A and B are shown apart, each in its own frame.
Chain A
Amino acid sequence: MRNPYEVLGIASTASSADIQKAYRKLAKKLHPDLNPGDKAAEEKFKEVAGAYDLLGDAEKRKRFDAGEIDASGAERPPQHFYRDFATSDEGHPYTDNSGFADFMETDDAFAELLRRGQRARANRRGEDLHYRLPIEFVESIAGANKRLTLPDGGTLDVKIPPGLVDGQVLRLKGKGATGAGEGVPGDALIEVEVLPDHRFTRDGDNILLELPISLSEAVLGGRIRVPTPTGVVTVSVPKASNTGTTLRLKGKGAPRRGGGSGDELVKLKVVLPKSPDPELEAFVSNWTKGKEFNPREGNPS
C-alpha cells in the first residue's frame, strides 16, 4: 500500500480539516456507486478510503507518524456496493425508467427493443428456492411422503421416491417464488439428506446389514427374523454358518432406476453367550476335533 499522504495528495503537515477536504474531493469522484460502470474506481476508492481511515483518525495518524503502525493496517476488507445489486436482473423497488421513457414512445425498432426488455422484466419468472430435507434411511429405500415446513411458516408436501440417494435434489415445479406479472413461478429445489442408520448401510443398489446369530444357530442352522427397510422377513440360516457368511436376500435392496431392485446382503456374526457357561466350557475342553482345528493354518506367522 502506498503512503497514505501520497494517496490523498496532501503534505504530511496537513491539518485534519485539509485531510477531510482532500478525502471528500477524491471519494466523491471515485465512489463505486457514483461510477457504476468503472471497475477501476473501486480499487482506487478503497485505497483512498483506507488512507482516510488512517489519517482521519487523530490517534491513528499520530501512531502512523511515529512509525508505530504502517499503512497495511488501513486496507479495507472487500465490500459489496449498491451498484453490484442495482443492475441485476432481479427486480427491486428502486428501478427508475424515467431516464429513457421518452425513447420508448416512438415507433421505431429501437423503441420496440426497449419496450420488449421492459416487458421481459415485468413478466419475470420467479426465483428457484432451495431447501434441505433430512429423511430416515428406511424412507430413502421404501419412499415416503414428507411435509417440509418453510421459513415463512408455509408447508410443502414432498413425495420421496423409493431408492433415493443421499444428496439427490428433487425439483417441485412451480413451488418456488412467485413470478412478476405474467411470469411463471420458480421451482422448489429440495436437497435430500439421508440420515445414517445404525443397522443398514448402502452400497449402490445393495443394502448391507450385519446380523448377530447364536452359536447354536450357526452350528445347527435355523430360521431367523431379519429386518429389511420394507419390514421383517424370515430367513433360513444354513447349517455350519460362520461369522462372515453372507446371505443374499434377492430384491430386498434399493429399487433401481428403470425397474428391479438390488439385494440385501446379510453378513452373519456369531456371538457367544455373554456370561461364561460351564456346560459350554466342559464341552469344548472335551472336544478333541475342535482342538485339532487351527483356523490360522497356512497364515504367515
Chain B
Amino acid sequence: MIVSKQEFLTSSGIEARTLEFWIEQQWLIPARTDAETAFSDTDVARARLIRDLKSDFGVNDEGVDVILHLVDQLHGLRRALKQLHKDIHGPLR
C-alpha cells in the first residue's frame, strides 16, 4: 500500500521536520511523483525501526547511520542466501 506524506506523519507520529531530516540523511528513500512523496509499506516499517532506535534505544544519529548500513547489508545477504537456496532446492515454502 502507498500512503501520502500526511498519512505517513499521522500514522507514524513523527514530526514533519524529523521526517525531512531522515530523508536528507537517506535513511528513508520514498518514491517521488511530480507533486507528492509516496511512502510504501517498506518505508513505513523502516521509519518505525528508526523511531525505535532513536527514542527507545537511545541511539544517536551517527549510531542510526551505522545500524541502518549494517541492517541493509544483512538483508542484502539474506536475499542472496534465499535466492541461492531457491536456485539449489527450488522455491522456499
A, B bound: yes
Residues of A within 8 A of B (CB): 23-24, 27-28, 31, 33-34, 36-37, 79-88, 92-100, 113-114, 116-118, 120-121, 152
Is the beta-carbon distance between A27 and B80 smaller than 8 angstroms?
no
- At the interface, is chain B mostly helix, strand, loop or mixed? helix
Closest to B45 in A: A82
Known: A33-B49, A93-B29, A94-B46. Is A86-B75 also a contact (CB below 8 A)? yes
B87 touches A117 (CB 8 A): yes
Which one of A34, A82, A152 contacts B42 once the chains associate, using CB atoms below 8 Å? A82
Q: How far is the CA of A116 from the CA of B80 in the complex (A)?
A: 10
Q: Which residues of A contact B40 (CB under 8 A)?
A: 92
Please, how many angstroms separate the alpha-carbon atoms of A196 and B48 in the complex? Answer: 45
- Determine whether B52 belongs to the interface, using a CB cutoff of 8 Å to chain A: yes
A80 to B47, CA, bound (A): 12
**Those of B38-93 within 8 Å (CB) of chain A:** 40-42, 45-46, 48-49, 52, 56-58, 67, 69, 71-80, 82-84, 86-88
On whether A114 and B80 interact (CB within 8 A), knowing A24-B56, A24-B57, A31-B52, the answer reads yes
**Chain B residue at minimal CB-CB distance from A114:** B80
Beyond the given A80-B45, A87-B78, A96-B76, please list 13 additional residue pairs across the A-B interface where CB-CB is below 8 A.
A36-B74, A80-B41, A81-B48, A82-B49, A86-B75, A86-B78, A92-B40, A93-B29, A94-B72, A95-B79, A96-B75, A114-B80, A120-B83
CB distance from B43 to the nearest CB of A (A): 8
For the complex of A and B, list the 10 residue pairs with the smallest distance between their C-beta atoms, beginning with the closest: A117-B83, A99-B73, A96-B72, A85-B42, A93-B29, A86-B75, A82-B45, A82-B49, A96-B76, A33-B49
Nearest CB in chain B: distance from A127 CB, A: 12
Question: In chain A, what residue has the closest Cβ to B86?
Answer: A117
Q: Please list the residues of chain B having a beta carbon within 8 angstroms of any beta carbon in chain A.
A: 29, 33, 40-42, 45-46, 48-49, 52, 56-58, 67, 69, 71-80, 82-84, 86-88
A114 touches B84 (CB 8 A): yes
Please state if A85 and B80 are interface contacts (CB–CB under 8 Å).
Answer: no
A77 to B71, CA, bound (A): 25
Bound together, the chains give a CA A113 to CA B89 distance in angstroms of: 13
A100 B80 Cβ-Cβ under 8 A: yes
Find out whether the CB atom of B42 lies under 8 angstroms from the CB atom of A95: no
A131 shortest CB reach to chain B, Å: 15
CA distance A180 to B88 in the complex (A): 24
Give B33's nearest chain A residue, CB to CB. A152
Least CB distance from A76 to B in Å reads 12
Bound together, the chains give a CA A85 to CA B73 distance in angstroms of 14
For A84, the chain B residues whose CB sits under 8 A away are 45
Q: Are B57 and A81 in contact (CB under 8 A)?
A: no
A186–chain B nearest beta-carbon distance, Å = 16
A152 to B6: give the CA distance in the assembly, Å. Answer: 18
A84 to B68, CA, bound (A): 15
Q: Which of B40, B67, B74 has the most CB of A within 10 A?
A: B74
Are B79 and A116 interface neighbours, CB within 8 A? no
Q: Given contacts A81-B48, A85-B45, A94-B46, are A100 and B77 in contact (CB under 8 A)?
A: yes
A116 to B88, CA, bound (A): 12
A90 to chain B, nearest CB (A): 8
A24 and B58 contact, CB distance less than 8 A: yes
Partner among A23, A81, A93 whose Cβ is within 8 Å of the Cβ of B49: A81
